[in-house]
Structure 1
Amino acid sequence: MAGDVNTAGHCDRQFAPVREAFESNFSSRGDIGASVAVYRHGEPVVDLWGGWKDPEHTEPWSEGTLVNIWSTTKGVTAACFAMAVDRGVLSYRDKVADYWPEFAKAGKADVTVAMLLSHQAGLCGFRDPASLHDLYDVEGAAARLAAAEPFWTPGSMSGYHAITMGALASALLKRAEGRPIADFVEDEFRQRLGLDIFIGLPTSERPRVSNLVAPIEMGSQDTAAELTPAQVAALANPAFAPTVANEPDWREAEIPSANGHATARSLAQLYSALATEGILNGIRIADPEVLREARTLQIEGKDAVLSIDARWACGFLLNTNGLYGPCPESFGHSGWGGSFAFADPATGLGIAYTMNQMGTDLVGDPRNSALIDAVYASLKY
């Protein structure tokens, strides 16, 4: 227990430093409600939760509490594509236009699936004004992007497709596999694998969700004057506050780049499978060779939207500057405000953290660093 915060769940004795770091996140790093989970070679070694679903401390954060995970969703989307590639539905080397002919317009005919998933397509946002309701219309958004001129020559650089990656990826998977990503996640992750992961949250699950809490100054509204056209398109068209994630329309929409809802346990389970032999709950999700291809570097350097060094694989963010611990092979994705999930193939680890109190650090959130450092310190015992 840290202060007045009760933590519950399981933590192997070897990983006691993770429990200590988790509890310190409440006592000294501002957490309100959160979960952390670590799976090693498919077995749970840490599965902790604690705190509150609300700042008023009226409802405890429970074992099954869901929360919007922002761009940590992109790693789930990347896993969908790895499964589709494993089944022969498409390959990372295929051209997007082979499945989606309209996408070839405006110089995009040679964009491959790998280029799209690694943020190289130049479609980081809309050139004309967009609203939140435009984002909620996933097929309409995809059609606009397919017809659009890219912001740079595809393949020449990466530029983070913060929101548009969701519409693009879902439209492509639907044309290649037959299901949009929301349906794929429901059928394959929820029903078949038993994971608590949603893209498009059913009304029946709303009681389990914790609202996000964000600093008053946090948002995308007041930054446009400082940004390049590509950054404006990616980060401020439309501009919105992080609390939009608490609204019913956001929760119910299909935005496979930003509105996933999940538990840390399920994310850690998924990434543990991705880190090892591709087996989850006794079910094969992808061959290890496909998983190696999924995490193969596609492009690296200063990202044109994020303005930080980034190393992109096929939808996954590769470890950069120790973001995901000491293993250079680690891969995953992080979300606005602090959530993250990643796999470490060297140790067979899947690690995830979800929370309701958003932080302001783009990289290096102190809560993330404390938990990740504690995991690797535990491996030395």
Structure 2
Amino acid sequence: MTTTSIPGTHGVCRDDFEPVRHELERTLASGEELGASICVTVDGEPVVDIWGGYTDAARTSAWERDTLVNVFSITKTMTALSALLLVDRGLLDLDESVAHYWPEFASNGKADIEVRHLLSHTSGVSGWERPIELEDIYDHESAAARLAEQSPWWEPGTASGYHAINYGHLIGEVIRRVDGRSLGRFFAEELAGPLGADFHIGTDPAHFDRIAPIVPPPPAEFDMSALDPDSIMIKTLTSPLLDYARTSDAAWRQAEIGGVNGHGNARSIARLQSIVSNSGVLDGRNWLSDRTIDSIFRQQADGLDLALMVPLRFGIGFGLPHAQTAPAVPEGRVCWWTGIGGSFVVNDLDRRVTFAYAMNKMSPQIIGSERADAYLRAAFGVVS
């Protein structure tokens, strides 16, 4: 391992992974990247753990080793991992109805929706019925209760419709009904704490001074108001509308929103997700059995996603490789996901590699970014 001291980048990078460090240096120097961290693990051990740039748009505060950032939908992979722990313990059945654990969810045509449908975005419940405001989802129990009362927006199990904001409310409520603890507490006590991972679903104010504020992307070039307000896409993405400016509010940071408000960095993402890339074993502990790991790769949907309007493949809890939508994700026994703006995680079980990337300057793409693709290609170019 070599320790880097080049201005703008810090951390450790094994010699053969130098292309990853060079790519981060390039994007930082060009201004494409403001501040970011990248971590790559092999067999659960970090071979890349680097960071650089700034935490603020004015470039007055350096991105440090322990800087945190809102990684948006990377949080979903932590929520899924939490649910898979309960599956592995025999407390949660992927093929059981959600209503078996959460009886109120059976109302209005949802009695046959299964747990796997929630984890694969195929439940038909991809958002809240209007009216709903962003602050309404900070209260998990009332927000989950509203979802339980709704009718599905399409026939469950027939297609994916990305559960953009409500993923953690749905799965988190199932976890609460099974275990008694909230999602954030379960995750902290069963995963983040035991693994020493600095990742939070519901972030304590004690960590606020380490959080790099999000720098939003340029405004969308198309007029959302010209689209059908009752389409699945518009209802999913605007009920409620994610306001990036609000993500620096204390109320947002402290809420347990298991779909979109996890705070961490590349190191903590890679640490936790290495459970998957190591086929369930990490630090000598069997976290997940082979059977539970295999369930991740049970394909649940392959086609045009009804909410994002791009083609996607979903297993259980993760996306599966898709050459068109995620061209830098390698083929094979691989699962992945991304956070809006560009944060990224890939678990490659064939090579026992986890790649993680977190940043504060958002890209305008819905799925990944050109920066993320460049880092991915640099990393997997070494191990392929």
Q: What is the distance in 2 between the residues matched to 1:194 and 1:54?
A: 27
**Equivalent residue for 1:8?**
10
**Equivalent residue for 1:311?**
313
What is the 5 A alignment of 1:146-185?
146-185=148-187
**Equivalent residue for 1:118?**
120
> Are the aligned partners of 2:127 and 2:239 in contact in 1 as well (CA < 8 Å)?
yes
Q: What is the distance in 2 between the residues matched to 1:87 and 1:303?
A: 31
**Equivalent residue for 1:361?**
365
Q: Which runs of 5+ in 2 are unaligned?
A: none
Post-superposition Cα deviations, 1:186-214, rounded to whole Å, max 9, x if no partner, equal 11223212111100100111111110011
Say which SS state the counterpart of residue 92 (structure 1) adopts. Answer: coil
Say which SS state the counterpart of residue 235 (structure 1) adopts. Answer: helix
Normalised to the residue count of structure 2, the TM-score between the two structures is 0.94
Q: CA deviation at 1:78?
A: 0.8
Q: What is the distance in 2 between the residues matched to 1:374 and 1:127?
A: 43
Q: CA deviation at 1:29?
A: 5.7
| % identity of equivalent residues | 37
Q: What is the distance in 1 between the residues matched to 2:225 and 2:280?
A: 42
**Equivalent residue for 1:350?**
354
**Equivalent residue for 1:225?**
226
Q: Do structure 1's residue 65 and structure 2's residue 67 form an aligned pair?
A: yes
Say which SS state the counterpart of residue 313 (structure 2) adopts. Answer: strand
Post-superposition Cα deviations, 1:151-202, rounded to whole Å, max 9, x if no partner, equal 1111122111101111111111110122221111111223212111100100
Post-superposition Cα deviations, 1:88-136, rounded to whole Å, max 9, x if no partner, equal 1111111111011111111111111101111111111122210112111
Q: What is the distance in 2 between the residues matched to 1:151 and 1:279?
A: 38
Q: Evaluate the alpha carbon distance shift between residue 245 and residue 295 of structure 1 in structure 2; reply closer, same or farther with a 3 A threshold.
A: farther
Say which SS state the counterpart of residue 107 (structure 2) adopts. Answer: helix
Q: Do structure 1's residue 83 and structure 2's residue 85 form an aligned pair?
A: yes
Q: What is the distance in 1 between the residues matched to 2:221 and 2:99?
A: 35
> Are the aligned partners of 1:219 and 1:240 in contact in 2 as well (CA < 8 Å)?
no
Q: What is the distance in 2 between the residues matched to 1:175 and 1:133?
A: 23
| Greater Cα shift, 324-333 or 53-62 | 324-333
Q: What is the distance in 2 between the residues matched to 1:57 and 1:236?
A: 32
> Are the aligned partners of 1:324 and 1:331 in contact in 2 as well (CA < 8 Å)?
no
**Equivalent residue for 1:200?**
202
Q: What is the distance in 1 between the residues matched to 2:31 and 2:351?
A: 28
Q: What is the distance in 2 between the residues matched to 1:329 and 1:224?
A: 40
Q: Do structure 1's residue 32 and structure 2's residue 34 form an aligned pair?
A: yes
> Are the aligned partners of 2:192 and 2:272 in contact in 1 as well (CA < 8 Å)?
no
Q: Which runs of 5+ in 1 are unaligned?
A: none
> Are the aligned partners of 1:189 and 1:197 in contact in 2 as well (CA < 8 Å)?
no
Q: CA deviation at 1:27?
A: 2.2
* Count of paired positions: 378
Q: Evaluate the alpha carbon distance shift between residue 128 and residue 241 of structure 1 in structure 2; reply closer, same or farther with a 3 A threshold.
A: closer
Instruction: Indicate which of 212, 215, 240 corresponds to 1:213.
Output: 215
| Greater Cα shift, 40-49 or 222-231 | 222-231
Q: Evaluate the alpha carbon distance shift between residue 132 and residue 251 of structure 1 in structure 2; reply closer, same or farther with a 3 A threshold.
A: same
**What is the CA RMSD across the aligned residues, in angstroms?**
2.0
**Equivalent residue for 1:325?**
329
> Are the aligned partners of 1:297 and 1:311 in contact in 2 as well (CA < 8 Å)?
yes
